[in-house]
Structure 1
Amino acid sequence: MSDAIEALLNSATDALRQRRLDQCITDCEQALSLLSSTDRRVPEALSLMGTAKVQMGNRAGIAEIQKAVSLDPQEPQFHMALGQALLGIGELDAAEAPLMQAWRLSRNHPAAATLLGKCLIASNKAFEAVQILGPLVEAGQASPSQIRLFAEARFNSGDIYGAKDVFSELYGAEGPLTQTDQLQFARISMALRDYQEAGELITKVLADNPASIDARVSALRLADWQDQTQVLDEHCAALAQSGRARPDAMSLVVEHAPDLNHDLISSVEALLADNAARLEEQANLGLAYALRLDREKRYDEAWQVAQTANACLAKHFGRLQTPERRAEKLATDRKHLQNAIALLKETAAAPAMPSGQQFIYLLGAPRSGSSLIQSVVAAPDGVTSIGERTSLYPYLAKAAEMGMSADGFSSYRDQLAQADLAGLARQKVAGKQLVDKTPHHLYVAGLLDRIHPGAQFVQVLRNAGDVALSMLLRPFSAAFEEATSLDALADMLEFRLEARTAWIDAGLHIPAFSYDAFVADPHDQGQRLFGLVGLDWKADYLDPSARPEPVQTFSSRQVRKPIRPASIPHWKAYQAFAPNAFARLEDISAAQNAITDTNL
């Protein structure tokens, strides 16, 4: 009997590996019918059967894997099977705990580390993924695919040069050979603003494989950032023909196609209804379509499409914005802010940078107009825009999260200051003053002041209703979980005012600047802004041709247009769909106006 059971389980394992899922389930059912309830092989049969069912699209298989875990909680394989199944159906939040347990029980087994790393990266916890995967790479135990995943984790945590170093070591002197690696290297080059290298790599892939949709997607994004309209149109037309089955490709077509004809709309709607599509890409396509409908002033349709997409994203990331979750997040954010403020008060600043470079940090929320303001501030000679340079943020956020001691942070601060200086030198960043606009930097502003003494901070504020609506219509939820809910976005914008007040009370100087006032009166407000950061003002800086730098932002095209005020707040078109949320956002706008002394 025992031999027969072993044969059935071995057959089930082989069938699962070969994706003969029906056979796997049949073998497991037969094995279970022969096993006593206390047999140690019951969990194995349940885990195999549940995995096969999940791969067939039957979520009931999750319960069978969970039962296997409960019967043998010390077996890492069952935890790993549960986490992998949850990861496969997009339940990222639920997948993390069993994968973490599998990693611990297996003592950093490469398979468990790989799955956990993938889950953490997908959950926007790339900094933690670096810590999980790093020991494998450093011990020389990582496969090429695991090294690539480690590089991806470093890339997504903001350590772009670290990612490039990992890939360069993997590729060797010949450089990236496969098209996948060439495109990954191109994306890194784009992030490092080496647009020439990125363009050469993408062009090479397209020369070898004109049908590459991935290359077209990267090429279109690069053309958009560089304002190469004709090139962008060519890639958009190609994707409109070849990318019909890809939500990510069609998102770009929906955004950029001059004419979204009935045929293209049908393809978009088919993808949005496709249950087999990757949930995040499908939802992002929904947001692109909602934004297109918004541009066409079809506001009721835009609202419905955006609501559906955001509900999918909230579920995908395991971040449904319930009142309880929002309250918990706000309490956590306040605790981390207080930890950061304590470090500001208890530590001294690092030595001044030998390069003499000074930082100007624009601390606006996403969609607050910071891209335009950064572009204008960086127009003078000697001032350089560095986009959203996130290399320090994950480390400072971790220090605040863990409540690091003052002594620990003092040592940490010096290491980070030296590393940041080395990174700037390697990137060959010119200019005595560097302008950054990373939204998250507001939460660690005092710690940035300790690393870069003399840094200047400006909180950019814009009509709260317009900021919240703009984020709601765009795929921000991977980095800002609040972006799927107007109520949660109101929490975030209110807390950002609270954070500014807390930093000021702790001794930090953070003047506020109104984007709405700026677009209404660019010359006078521009002069005021330059006075805030100690720069000499010229009206020429308002001319888009005076600031031709590529812009990596959703608003790349708007930044290059002449500055014009909005005739009416955009959110007014959506007020009827969420009157209570927009009323609260209007109160937040009033509070912002009181700070910036405007009546807009």
Structure 2
Amino acid sequence: MTRTAAPTDAAALEAVNAELARITRHQNAGRFAEAGTALDALLEQYPGHPRLIHLKALNLAQSGNPDMGMALLQDVVAHQPDDAVALVDLGTLLAQAGRMEEAREQFEAAVEAAPNYALAQANLGAALVLAKDYARAIPRLERAIALDGSVLDLHLNLAQAYLRTGNIQHSVDALFRALAVDPNAIAVHVNLAAALYRRERHETAEHHARRAIELGPRTGEAWLHLGNILAASGRMDKAADALMTAAALPGMALSALARLVHLRKTRADSPEWTNLLKLAEQADSLADEARATLEFALGKGFDDLGEHGTAFAHYAEGNRLTRKAHPYDSRPHTERAVRMRSLVSPALLDRHKDAGLRGVAPIFVCGMPRSGTTLMEQMLSRHPEVQAGGEMLAAQRSFQSSPRLRAVLEEREPDASLQDDDFTSLGEEYQAFLHREGLRRSRVTDKLPGNQLYVGLLALALPEARFLLMRRHPLDCLLSNWVQNFGTNQPVSTDLADLAEAYRQFDLNAKHWAAVLPDRVREVSYEALVADPEGMAREVLDFLGLDWSPDVLDHTTSSRQVNTASVAQVREPVYGTSVARWRRYGAHLRPLAEALGDFLSEEERAACGL
């Protein structure tokens, strides 16, 4: 590209600027052909001028020729590699064409060329959010906001990144800053409803869902969130009304109907069921993820109607589709569990017995998913000395801040390299997470089921913590996982053999922790809890060092939201109808029974067709 210098004569410069202003007016009015003609005329006067080529590229893209526009911008960037504006515009065109990796490269070059160019930081942050690289996106978006906090999308993208990394309070904070930019932005209210729902602040979440509906009565996501919020707080009839309203809005039918099917018992004449069956007639036209949502909902409905063979077939198809989208390999998970048990030995516990952060005594309620963790935490949440934290990523985030612990776990450093301070720092990081989430009591529950893997390390980091390991009959527990659509959150649940292996590792973990930490770990049987709620609650509270409170038996009146798959059940009195549910499926569970082996009695194996 042969470049011509810009005009320096005042009169010529004024004429060019006037023409550029006219070109801008053409573009604003959608008259791109006229703008293009005017730009070509200027380029005849100043052939190859980078700024004019840049403007022509954008005009071509706006008029429906993005490929030609990109080609011209690439030429500009090739001759002016530090032109941050051109780099950002080229990245934007590449992103619009779906070429996100190339777009990120341009945005990164723009940030390197001009670190204080807000749009470069903003676009790079947005591209990283789309790539699910949230850890890298957050500092870019924070920097862009510091440079120019008036752009609403910056705050929305930052809130999304924080939410996806489990920093829910940070997400809420970002959204409230977005609200200051535009108090009437429907998207902000919708996202606040979702984030506050996750944060278990149900009254405020409901306010923002309703505000979004006031501003946009046909905002389907707002109605969907409202339905979830109302269900989580026990108002099932109103939740059903909200979800049926959502189902009538464009693009929301499947999500809303499926949610309602999972929230209440299906009858043949239930409106959500009759409408879902109509959607099922077009199942072949659905993308895999939507089809999986449909299949799991059909499975739940047919299960409620007693057609268990049909239900099983739909669950199997839903799991097949989910596994296709989210493949799973059990080997690294098994290896991690084996490594954890070998690392946390009696010798390690004794060597670091003086480590850890005292003064905070979290109650970890963990085990296999669908083992009763939600019910147990909901009961504890009614105790006057306990603050409920729900499913938190506090432990995982704390481990990420401990490079030496990770190196030892991955056997890149010897076990002997661990120091007391590593565990104390882990406890401090955990407490800092709690405080960021507004959880400041000494007794806070953390019911993330996966913490069962980390019991030993958490025990060293938090010497006053106690651990409740929930146990449920393996066939009931694993079937309950298999019939839930966890999506990307729990791909192990898509295969019965993988679930059996996960249960086997949990069993080994539970036995190991109970053996090496007998005063800190208590196994709790789900079946015993539903058979004798008061007796088991008294034992658990005694183990935790808490006085008896009859309120724990009235967990259905708790004002806490419940945001897990157990939402409907924990709003009912403790009941036993989920015990031995597996018998409905009998021989359909033969592959699971074979994989579980000696965990089952001969009678149970025979009931599964073995």
Q: Give TM-score scaled by structure 1 length.
A: 0.72
Match of 2:390 in 1: 387
Inter-partner Cα distance in structure 1 for 2:592 and 2:105: 40
1:511 match: secondary structure: strand
CA distance 1:113–1:314, change in 2 (3 Å): farther
Instruction: Report the AA paired with residue 362 of structure 1.
Output: V
Q: 1-side partners of 2:425 and 2:143: how far apart?
A: 22
Aligned CA distance change for structure 1 residues 82 and 337 (closer, same or farther; 3 Å)? farther
Contact 2:202-2:560 within 8 A present in 1 as well: no
- Partner Cα separation in structure 2 for residue 352 and residue 262 of structure 1: 52
| 1:306 and 2:319 correspond | no
Give distance in 2, aligned partners of 1:293 and 1:458.
34
Aligned residue for 2:384, secondary structure, equals coil
Q: In the alignment, what sits opposite 1:554?
A: 565
Select 2:224's aligned residue among 217, 221, 233: 217
- Residue 414 of structure 2 is aligned to residue 409 of structure 1: no
Structure 1 residue aligned with 2:83 = none
Residue identity over aligned pairs, in percent, reads 18
Query: Is residue 157 from structure 1 mapped to residue 183 from structure 2 by the alignment?
Result: no
> Secondary structure in 2 aligned to 1:513?
strand
Unaligned 5+ runs, structure 1: 1-9, 32-39, 42-76, 88-94, 121-127, 594-600
Shift of 1:372: 1.4
Which structure: larger Rg?
2
Partner amino acid for 1:131?
R
| Contact preservation (8 Å) 1:284, 1:474 | no
Work out whether 1:315 is the aligned partner of 2:350. Answer: no
In the TM superposition, what whole-angstrom CA distance separates every residue of 1:232-255 from its partner, at most 9, and x where no partner exists? 132133234335654322322433
2:370 matched residue in structure 1: 367
State the Cα distance separating 1:402 from its structure 2 match. 4.4
Q: Which residue of 2 aligns with 1:520?
A: 531
Q: Which moved more, 1:526-535 or 1:181-190?
A: 526-535
Amino acid at match of 2:186: Q
Q: 1:482 aligns to what SS in structure 2? A: helix
Alignment match, 1:200: 207
User: Gaps (5+ residues) in structure 2?
Assistant: 1-53, 76-89, 113-119, 410-416, 605-610
Q: Which residue of 2 aligns with 1:129?
A: 134
| Alignment correspondent of 2:444 | 434
1:449 to 2:454 alignment: no
Q: 1:299 to 1:154 in 2, by over 3 A?
A: same
SS of the aligned residue for 1:363 comes to strand
Do 1:213 and 1:242's aligned partners in 2 also have CA atoms closer than 8 Å?
A: yes
3-state SS of 2:489 partner: coil
> Are 2:433 and 1:420 equivalent residues in the alignment?
yes
Alignment partner of 1:265 is 2:270: no
Query: 1:100, 1:450 → 2: CA distance?
Result: 42
Q: Measure, in 2, the Cα distance between the counterparts of 1:245 and 1:513.
A: 40
1:190 aligns with 2:190: no
Question: What is residue 376 of structure 1 aligned with on the other side?
Answer: 379
| From 299, 302, 316, the counterpart of 1:293 | 302
Distance 2:348 2:107 in 1: 33
Point out the more displaced range, 306-315 or 341-350.
341-350
Structure 1 Cα separation of the partners of residues 320 and 60 of structure 2: 33
Residue deviations 1:140-171 (CA, integer Å, cap 9, x gap): 57975354333212212221112222333344
Cα distance in 2, alignment partners of residues 560 and 507 from structure 1: 33
Structure 1 residue 197, shift from structure 2 partner: 1.5
Aligned residue number for residue 470 of structure 2: 460
CA apart distance, 1:454: 0.5
Q: CA deviation at 1:462?
A: 0.4
Alpha-carbon separation, structure 1, partners of 2:390 and 2:557: 17
| 1:316, distance to aligned residue in structure 2 (A) | 1.8
- Whole-angstrom distance in 2 between the partners of 1:571 and 1:101: 52
Between the two proteins, the alignment pairs up a number of residues equal to 508
TM superposition shift of 1:224 = 0.2
Pair 1:138 & 2:143 matched:
yes
CA distance in 1, matches of 2:471, 2:497: 18
TM-score, normalisation: structure 2: 0.71
> How far 1:310 moved relative to its partner?
1.6
Q: Deviations over 1:477-517 (max 9, x none)?
A: 42222011111111111111222344456547322111012
> What is the one-letter code of the residue matched to 1:482?
V
SS of 1:556's partner is coil
Structure 1 position 539, deviation (Å): 5.7
Judge conservation of contact 2:471–2:523 (CA < 8 Å) in 1: yes
Alignment match of 1:491 (pick from 501, 505, 512): 501
